[in-house]
Amino acid sequence: MEQKNLHVAVVGATGAVGQQMIQTLEKRNFPIGTLTLLSSERSAGKKVMFKGQEIEVQAAKPESFETVDIALFSAGGAVSKALAPEAVKRGAIVVDNTSAFRMDENVPLVVPEVNEEDLKWHNGIIANPNCSTIQMVVALEPIRQAFGLKKVIVSTYQAVSGAGAQAITELKSQAKAILEGASFTPEILPVKSDRKHYQMAFNVIPQIDKFQDNGFTFEEIKMINETKKIMHMPELEVAATCVRIPVITGHSESVYIEVEKDAVSAEEIKHVLKEAPGIVLQDDPSEQLYPMPADCEGKSEVFVGRIRKDLDRDHGFHLWIVSDNLLKGAAWNSVQIAESLLKLGLVK
Amino acid sequence: MEQKNLHVAVVGATGAVGQQMIQTLEKRNFPIGTLTLLSSERSAGKKVMFKGQEIEVQAAKPESFETVDIALFSAGGAVSKALAPEAVKRGAIVVDNTSAFRMDENVPLVVPEVNEEDLKWHNGIIANPNCSTIQMVVALEPIRQAFGLKKVIVSTYQAVSGAGAQAITELKSQAKAILEGASFTPEILPVKSDRKHYQMAFNVIPQIDKFQDNGFTFEEIKMINETKKIMHMPELEVAATCVRIPVITGHSESVYIEVEKDAVSAEEIKHVLKEAPGIVLQDDPSEQLYPMPADCEGKSEVFVGRIRKDLDRDHGFHLWIVSDNLLKGAAWNSVQIAESLLKLGLVK
């Protein structure tokens, strides 16, 4: 990687993902000369540690992006829509972790293990996919390359940290109340801005994001559309059911796929995944070895296991995919995109 | 229902399911003259309330079943294998909630809403299916009747009470320890008799029951084989991924199905399920209405929602199915079988 002293900005620096972005930039020793931390007016003034120094968070405004080389956005779609074009206008490359630009045909949607090449046609903004999509395509792409891919059906088991820091607090305080027999009032989950809120501790909520008119949630449609875009497969059949469960960090996915090639074995799938970038194969039933969110928290890889051939269809396989939704699902994928931009010489 | 003063025995009377069986017999005002409560030597001597009277639990032995008309077994497969034939020898009809006889071709496997008629060819033992199977077939059977059924792919979200009372205690104490920052040692889940045990609180374990050599767990194979047997559809394609989550009671299932008939709409599926026995339709995205385990605990019905047509396949549909695994999944289905036996005049 070319060493530069870049000016990097993190927008949403006090949020659950923003905090992970800052820690990941530090851990990766990303070549930063200046780090600007931005947030809403409400969080401005807070102090955040980076490489042993305190940095004061400032309220984000168009002028904040003067001299910025790379801006990592994770402060909600409205902030990205308003400020990402302002950052680009001032010469920054934006890596946006919201859904604001993901399906914009002028914006590449990138998971470096899958479609790093798409960075080459960026127009200032690069979109970071939805957390549940990222971990799935990392596992699907090597299978597609080796055996082709026709169909995907996924049911998710998603952690509350995907709904932000307030959702983590709500899950913990609810669990405590239930264990103590105390009362509580749900206020955040499943969707803070939706009308009804439900118990999350010791419960399952089959709603992530709001509903579309067709009965699917936006989260489900994101998984469907983003998977097709990232993998360059508009014809791929993808179906998703997205479900929130009482886990703090780490999304799990039960995935059924159908490959193109005949007579593929589960062992061949395992072999391909074992050699693939960004994946840790954890698949040994005789040792009760399979991925679980409690083991994946804080790790940057995608963990895959429970790989088995369908008992009815020669082309069918089942997989179990787990990853830290705040890292590979968000902060790490964003920083990884920034590293790819440097590697490809795309940062002027 | 013919009124009789029956002699009923409950084997496993002190367990999680046994307790629910006794409460269900009382709630349904089942025509009991004598109630005999049986258990292992270890639990013998405990007292259990039934209709305001204390009944002492006795150690189960072959002679315990003299004069018993109906014996409800839920004390593990080994107890059923040893004692169910002894009960039948003494004239009792056995309703067995373990997996001991489920796939025996001389034993009907019954969910009354689906195949009550199979009770007519019983040979003394009637098997109660696995909890996760029961709630699924209750929802699938009316769809099969109306539109035919070709394929089922299910991913489960199963509560710990399916692993017994000790698993409930373990989940609660682990959750408390994690919230307080204390240490803990997993000892029960995922499978008490398996070698390794894992954190369940705020985690997901993709293993229920032990593994077979083909990479599927016994729980998954049970769902596959039992569904085909109950629905009389050996040719039905069924695939299952069974997953334990940190919920105390109430199994949830994300189910993809393909029907035979062309051009069926989601509205037609909803209409059929709304009219079907034992089902409560909870499906209104505009009101954020869908089934959740916290709402289904203590209720005997199967709750179905999130019904939507697949975006790629005309014959494909997605469903979300929730039920109390201790009631419809176990105790209530067993008592319901006993009620059907009376209704059909099969208790001499």
Q: What is the CATH number of the domain that holds B42?
A: 3.40.50.720
Assign A161 to helix, strand or coil. helix
Contacts of B320 in chain A (CB under 8 A): 206, 241
Residue with tokens 């909890």: B131
Query: CB-based contact (8 Å) between B215 and chain A?
Result: yes
Residues A168 and A317 occupy one common structural domain = yes
Residues 6 or more apart from A268 whose CB is under 8 A from it? A146, A147
CB within 8 Å: A254 and B256 = no
Q: Work out the pLDDT band at B4, boundaries 50, 70, 90.
A: confident
State how many domains chain B has: 2
Residues B238 and B154 occupy one common structural domain = yes
| Domain membership flag for residue B80 | yes
| Domain membership flag for residue B150 | yes
Q: Work out the pLDDT band at A348, boundaries 50, 70, 90.
A: confident
What is the average pLDDT value for chain A, to the nearest integer? 97
Check pLDDT > 80 for residue A116.
yes
Residues 6 or more apart from A210 whose CB is under 8 A from it? A191, A193, A194, A217, A218
| Domain membership flag for residue A37 | yes
Q: Work out the pLDDT band at B157, boundaries 50, 70, 90.
A: very high
- Using one digit for the tens of pLDDT, what is the confidence trace for A298-332? 999 999 999 999 999 999 999 999 999 999 999 99
List the domain range (segments joined by +) for residue A17.
6-129+330-343
Residues A178 and A317 occupy one common structural domain = yes
Residues A185 and A102 occupy one common structural domain = no
Query: CB-based contact (8 Å) between A292 and chain B?
Result: yes
| Domain membership flag for residue B52 | yes
Q: What is the ipTM of this complex?
A: 0.96
Q: What is the CATH number of the domain that holds A202?
A: 3.30.360.10
| Domain membership flag for residue A348 | no
Q: Work out the pLDDT band at B278, boundaries 50, 70, 90.
A: very high
Check pLDDT > 80 for residue A1.
no
CB within 8 Å: B287 and A172 = no
Cα A25 versus chain centre, distance: 16
Q: What is the pLDDT of residue B1?
A: 46
Query: CB-based contact (8 Å) between A318 and chain B?
Result: yes
Check pLDDT > 70 for residue B3.
no
A296 among known catalytic residues: no
Query: CB-based contact (8 Å) between B312 and chain A?
Result: yes
Residue A171 CB neighbours (<10 A):
26
Q: What is the pLDDT of residue B264?
A: 98
Q: Find the mean pLDDT for residues A18-37.
A: 97
CA dihedral B92, B95, B97, B103 (to 10 degrees): 100
| Domain membership flag for residue B1 | no
Residues B68 and B173 occupy one common structural domain = no
| Domain membership flag for residue B348 | no
- Using one digit for the tens of pLDDT, what is the confidence trace for B78-120? 999 999 999 999 999 999 999 999 999 999 999 999 999 999 9
Residues B162 and B266 occupy one common structural domain = yes
Residues B94 and B199 occupy one common structural domain = no
Residues A13 and A145 occupy one common structural domain = no
Q: What is the pLDDT of residue A3?
A: 59
- Is B325 a known ligand-binding residue? yes
| Domain membership flag for residue B95 | yes
The number of residues in chain B equals 348
Residues A96 and A174 occupy one common structural domain = no
CB within 8 Å: A203 and B293 = yes
CB within 8 Å: A206 and B285 = no
Check pLDDT > 80 for residue A132.
yes
Residue B12 CB neighbours (<10 A):
26
Check pLDDT > 50 for residue A248.
yes
- Tell me what percent of the residues of chain B surpass a pLDDT of 70: 99
Residues 6 or more apart from B144 whose CB is under 8 A from it? B231, B233
Residues A155 and A40 occupy one common structural domain = no
Q: Out of A195, A293, A310, whose CB is closest to B204? A: A293
Residues A154 and A75 occupy one common structural domain = no
Q: What is the pLDDT of residue A4?
A: 74
- Using one digit for the tens of pLDDT, what is the confidence trace for B281-307? 999 999 999 999 999 999 999 999 999
Residues A79 and A32 occupy one common structural domain = yes
Among A136, A150, A155, most B C-beta atoms within 10 A, so best to mutate, is: A155
Q: What is the pLDDT of residue B348?
A: 80
Assign A115 to helix, strand or coil. helix
Contacts of B203 in chain A (CB under 8 A): 247, 292-294
